[in-house]
Structure 1
Amino acid sequence: MKVLFWSNTRGQAGTSANMIAVAMMNDLLYQKKSILLQTHFDLNQLEAWLLERKKRELVCDYRVGIDQLIQGILSGMNTRQLLMDCCLSVTEECIDFLPGTNAKHREVYEQGLQEAYHTILNLAQQCYEDVFIDACTGMNPFMEKLWDEADYVVVCLSQNIRILNDFFQNYTYDRKKTLFLIGNYDKRSELNLKNLFKRYKSLNYQNTMVIPYNVEFRDAMSLAKIKDFFYQNIHCDKEDSNFEFIDQVKGFASLLYRLSEEKQLKIPDEYHNRTALGGASSVL
């Protein structure tokens, strides 16, 4: 299943962080083999967050990453082995990661990406059960193609009126395959989930979930210790300061798992009463 994480703005909705958190939880809960892709030209933060320095050095030293994959595909070497050779492992069994570009010229990179990306997605789907894509912000013809190819699009929003209004006033989307994820969520905000549902009729319990801001998770990203954070906190109890974050991420990962099994865009009834979806005692 191809899941595209996208936002209409950069740096506020936690798009990349949301994708990583969900992918890690998907690994821990379901052991589904997955790959993490990204389309960014600059600020390839996934490398810094996922890979220790020694592994980041391998990207250049051993010719792995999206640049090598694009080069191979455009030269006719569009094989599953090529894709897997260009990836690095994040977890021992389940999550692989395709490092981003080291290209110096944006136009050259973006042209090659647009020519090769359909093949990249096809190869990824042949090799992995789940394909998570961290997409650039905004919309252009290439991004429209990615939206079309994705099985589900996760629109990452924030509790910011300007960003919310911009999306709902200026973008169109397929309701059958779109989920909304409020990142860096703070339940103390006036724009809590309950009030967002009142203000924006497109948002509801059937298509919207949240991931709260979490200090320890952010520190783990900065130190490239995300895997350790999830291993240590996956079973934390309700009194733990990380419980709400973990519970929310579990809820969204579980939703994607059910959608991959059922192939239909609806949240099962059992989710309606989860604190992860905003019960009055939690995120509302």
Structure 2
Amino acid sequence: MGQIAFWGIQHGLGVTSNTAALASIIGMDYQIRTLCSQPQWSDNTLESSFKKSINRGNPEFYNMSGTGLDGLERAVRAGKIERDTVKNNALFIERDRLDLLRGSEKSDKSQFDNANEIMRIIYNGAKEYYDLVLLDVHSGSNSPVTNTLLEDSDLIVVCVNQNIHVLDKFFKDKESLPKALLRKPHVLLVGQYDPESKYKVRNIANKYSYKGPILTLPYNTSFKDHLNDGDIKGFISRNRNISKNHENYQFIQDLRRNAKYILTEVGINTQVKMIERGAS
């Protein structure tokens, strides 16, 4: 069992799209019970990324209010969190392999921020059922919920891009980073990666004397279009078994490499859990 938090030093770094893409490929490629969730106040963009799958697979439950994080908060306050409680409040994306937990519908940010200990209980409860929990947490370090969940995570995926100002802020402004990054295992993921840029992985590592691992995920037009259409699962499904000369091949290969890396880091045996290619 492992919890992985996807985090960015600021908004606009593709944290949600990275979370959605990795959740999808894991749900397609591995026999692992995975939950993805976006514990943020007034933000349901992760849910929107899977809109088509949710509408097809959960037509009645999807329109029910009071489910997801808000429903689970009430269950925690009532002392009714059991092994299957989170599962029963989640929406399935890939049956028995990938679920999504709806975000909060609270209109008061302070109410959400003050529920950080309840969020901890919810996701600890999720790990009683799920093998893997993927969290798209709020960017920056000003959210109590984010700081709590980062501390509880087994791995933090730090999402950056090739913008020099973003890189400088991450590598040079240590005071602005969550304290969890000083203590928890973490890996850099450079999203919308351009291998022709001056700021390729090797040069980033040299410039900042960085010795840690750096993953990349290239920019892909079709992926972005499917993201906007709420059909991430459809994109992954249609491109799982493409040939090397296909325009999306490198994106899928890098996505698979990243998935294998983060799963291995949290102790999951990817060889044992891998589903045979072509199987559903």
Give the TM-score of the pair, scaled to structure 2.
Answer: 0.86
Contact 1:59 1:65 (C-alpha < 8 Å) held by counterparts:
no
1:92 Cα deviation after fit: 1.6
1:152 to 149, 152, 155: 155
1:57 Cα deviation after fit: 7.6
Distance 1:67 1:228, change over 3 A: same
- Asked if 1:260 is matched to 2:266, the reply is yes
> What is the 5 A alignment of 1:180-199?
180-199=188-207
1:60 Cα deviation after fit: 4.7
Report the equivalent of 2:130: 128
Report the equivalent of 1:163: 166
Measure the CA separation in 2 of the matches of 1:42 and 1:31.
32
Contact 1:155 1:179 (C-alpha < 8 Å) held by counterparts:
yes
1:170 Cα deviation after fit: 2.2
1:107 to 110, 116, 125: 110
Gap regions ≥5 residues in structure 1: 264-284
- CA distances 1:41-92 after superposition (whole Å, capped 9, x unpaired): 1231012111237458844525321111112112211222321221100112
Q: Residue type matched to 2:240 in 1?
A: I
- Asked if 1:5 is matched to 2:6, the reply is yes
> What is the 5 A alignment of 1:207-226?
207-226=213-232
SS at match of 1:190: coil
SS at match of 1:159: coil
Distance 1:117 1:193, change over 3 A: same
Report the equivalent of 2:26: 26
Q: Residue type matched to 2:128 in 1?
A: Q
Measure the CA separation in 2 of the matches of 1:248 and 1:218.
16
Measure the CA separation in 2 of the matches of 1:163 and 1:60.
38
Length, aligned pairs only: 259
Identity of aligned residues (%): 26
Gap regions ≥5 residues in structure 2: 270-280
2:252 to 246, 255, 277: 246
